Every structure is written in structure tokens, then in C-alpha cells.
A = this chain, B = another copy of it.
């Protein structure tokens, strides 16, 4: 578990190149202000010896780590049941790699883990953190703020009294929801229902708000609460059918939920989209394309969200739009969504 072969040090390279350690260091770190001849000699020595800088030693003096933590709160299995997380990670990874940063993944399962993560972040092991805060009452954001690590959140954090200058990247959930519902309206539907997501997550709340924006004085019975799962979607759809048999369209908070609704609709003998039009959210391919009929849905560019989070963090908190001041700056970003038309609406 320890290093096997004793790796060459700066010293060794210096000796071989016939220069001082300082010079080698300079060359290794960008090599400005060193004569070309020496640069060449050092490069050669590095090559021959297979020298790789010792990051620990470097960090010790620079106090930087070129590493950022990605914290994923994972109380539910749900997030693992969809590729959301993986895609976001991919975007993050790409951006970090481009900036020579490492990605330290911190998965939390429960209360105990919060403390662990807090400690780790406070321990100054990383230069920043990317945090996915899934629930309104999540204690993590608080802990992290206290750890004093530059942070960007994935998805609008929902803690009460939004702190000043929290940086986050989110999809335009509300706008996307509006587009979906407007599309339904454009189809001539009048009894448009909404199956919500888990309302302790801002994305669910925002999508509900978007629905309400369009359906200003909608029948309250047209709103059924679910939790982003297929099972929840089925349950909600049954309720809906029960309360409002005349429903002619459903906007579900995500694709999984929509898939559940679809199934219940079919069972009940309704044809989609003829009798009831259905729209989902996410455009989670393996789900949206496989349903019967394929799902019309609101797409968000998940990978891009990840990339942006990383970019925002690496750029640092000082480059926001507003002037620095109380509470810092930290511009946040909200990405647009697009409606993807398939057969269900």
C-alpha cells in the first residue's frame, strides 16, 4: 500500500542536469526565466529519470492541492437509479481535468457521514467543493459554509433565508415546466394535471411553480404529490384519475414519474396521447425513449451543468459580476431547458 520504487527527486534531476534544485523547480513549473539551454537539459533529465513531482511536498509549501471535492448527499437510492449523477460527474471531470485538478468524491449515506465530510472539508485537503444538496433540510450546506471552503452547489440550495452570495448552477426548472404546460395548452388540453416531485427538493418546487405560472387558477385537485419515482407516479396517477376522470393531460415532475403514470393510464384504458397527453422532465434517455409511447419531455443539459459548476469554482469567487462586498459575489448560473417532442404529447 506504500510506494514501491523510490522515485527520483528534484535533487536527482538537478544533479543529472548539472543545475540546482531551484532551476529544476522553475522548469518543471512553467520554466519562465530560465535559459533555453538549461531548460532543455532539465527536460532531458526529467525524461530520462522519469521524474514526477511529489504532490505532497509541493502542497506542503504551496498550500494548494489542485484537487476539489465533489460531495453527493445520497440518502436515497433514487439518485443512483438514474444517470443524472453520472452525467454531471462527467461534466465536472472534464472541466477539472482541463485545469489539472483532481476530483475527490465524497458520498454521504447518513448523519454520521456529514460530520466526516465536514471534517474533511475543513481539513484543507482540497481547494474547493462542488456540492449536490438534495433536500431542503440538508445540514450539509451549513457544515460546508462553516468549513470555509469555496463551494458551488448543484441545484439551487433550498435552505430557508438563502444565504448571501451562494454560488450554484441549476436548470431553469420553472421555465421548463412552463414550456411543458404551455405546450399542453397549445395542444388544446384544458384539464392539465401535475404530478409533483419530492417537494423537499427545490427542483420539484420550482417545477410546480412553473406549472402554476401557466395554470393560474387550476383546479387544486389536478395536482398530485409524488416523489420522482415510478411507483409514486403510478400512485399519483390513480389518485388523479379518481379525482378528475376528465383529465386530458399530465405534466410529470420527471421521466420516471411519467413512466409510472403512463402505465396506469394504459391500465385504465386511456390512450396516450389521444385521450391523455403526457410530458416528463429530464429527458433521461433510457427511460424517455423506452416508454410506450416515447415520452415528450423537458431536456436539461446535465453534463453542461457539471462543467459549469467546476468552471465557476475554479474561476474563484472573485470574478463574479457584482463587486466584492459583504457576502462576497459568486454569480450563479441557470441553464435553459428545451422541450423534446416525442409521441406522448
Contacts and interface: CB of A to CB of B under 8 A. Distances in A.
17 contacts: A1-B316, A2-B63, A52-B123, A54-B60, A54-B124, A55-B123, A55-B125, A57-B60, A67-B104, A74-B90, A82-B83, A82-B286, A83-B86, A86-B86, A89-B105, A103-B107, A287-B290
Given A52-B123, A80-B90, 6 more contacts: A1-B64, A55-B56, A70-B105, A94-B107, A103-B104, A290-B290
B81 A80 contact: no
Interface stretch (A3-11, A211-219, A239-247, A270-278): A3-11
Interface of A: 1-5, 7, 50, 52-57, 59-60, 62-65, 67, 70, 74, 79-83, 85-87, 89-90, 93-94, 97, 102-107, 109, 113, 116, 119-120, 122-125, 127-128, 148, 150, 230, 256, 259, 263, 285-287, 289-292, 314, 316
A330 to B, nearest CB: 13
A34 to B, nearest CB: 22
A254 to B, nearest CB: 12
A57 to B, nearest CB: 5
Question: This chain: how many copies in the complex?
Answer: 2
Given A60-B60, A105-B105, A150-B1, A7 B124 contact: yes
Contact of A256 (B5, B102, B286): B286
A83 B79 CA distance: 9
Nearest to A84: B86
Tell me whether chain A's interface is mostly helix, strand or loop, or mixed: mixed
Contacts of A63: 2-3
A69 to B, nearest CB: 9
A79 B90 CA distance: 11
Nearest to A123: B52
Q: Enumerate the 8 nearest inter-chain pairs by beta-carbon distance, A residue then B residue, closest first.
A: A56-B59, A93-B107, A52-B123, A56-B60, A80-B86, A103-B105, A1-B127, A105-B105
A100 B109 CA distance: 15
A270 B75 CA distance: 42
A286 B81 contact: yes
Nearest to A69: B102
Contacts of A1: 64, 127-128, 150, 314, 316
A125 B257 CA distance: 43
Contacts of A259: 290
A317 to B, nearest CB: 9
A68 to B, nearest CB: 9
A212 to B, nearest CB: 29
A89 B93 CA distance: 15
A260 to B, nearest CB: 8
Nearest to A74: B90
Contacts of A230: 286, 289-290
A116 B99 CA distance: 12
A89 B105 CA distance: 9
A284 to B, nearest CB: 9
A237 to B, nearest CB: 14
Contacts of A104: 67, 102-105
A179 B324 CA distance: 65
